[in-house]
Amino acid sequence: MAQQALKDCQVQIRLNPLDSHVLTKEKTLLEHYLKLKGIERSSLLQRAKLQAIHYNDAPTRYFFSRIAARKHQSLIGKIQIDMDSPKVDETDWPALCRPVEEGEIRKALFSIDSNKSPGQDEFSSHFFKHSWEIIKRDFCSAIQDFFKKGSMHKQANTTLLALIPKKAVV
């Protein structure tokens, strides 16, 4: 309606271009029309954002529920010793209590078939073997820490999802 009123006023200006009353009226109608267009644009943007949030949030909820389910399945909290298993002789204690060396860790890792995935992170042992020279210090440190403390940091079993906002298309 505001657009039609503005058009009608502009027609009157063409018919009588020197009428100051019509020029003032046109200015007021134009300001009102632009204000309404701004409100309409803002409303459309808000609706678009709500639809984007609703559309984008559904997969997010799904993925977070899957992550929570996998976390419960794959968490390694601590080492437990089965008391019914064969007893260790006192002569074996020094060998069992000594620190695990880098060579032993490397040997164990490289004995795994290259296309096997040892953990929930889905990295195959090929990845670890291929990048051994880069990761060996951190990898060995994590394994040695696990054997010293008998537990693993939760960060080792955590997945990071980076949610990247999408640019709104208007």
Range of the domain at 12: 2-66
- Residue 74 within any structural domain of the chain: no
The Cα–Cα gap between 96 and 68 comes to 35
- Residue 36 within any structural domain of the chain: yes
Is the pTM above the cut of 0.75? no
Q: Are residues 110 and 157 in the same domain?
A: yes
- Residue 75 within any structural domain of the chain: no
- Residue 83 within any structural domain of the chain: no
Query: 10: which residues sit within 8 A by CB, 6+ positions away?
Result: 26
- Residue 22 within any structural domain of the chain: yes
Token pair for residue 62? 């799904």
Q: Are residues 108 and 168 in the same domain?
A: yes
**How would you write the pLDDT of the chain (170 residues) with one tens digit per residue?**
888 998 898 888 888 888 888 889 988 998 998 899 888 888 877 877 766 666 665 556 666 777 777 666 655 555 566 666 667 677 877 877 788 889 998 998 898 888 776 555 667 788 888 889 998 998 888 888 888 887 776 666 554 445 555 555 55
- Residue 82 within any structural domain of the chain: no
- Residue 131 within any structural domain of the chain: yes
Q: Are residues 118 and 59 in the same domain?
A: no
- Residue 53 within any structural domain of the chain: yes
Domain count, the chain: 2
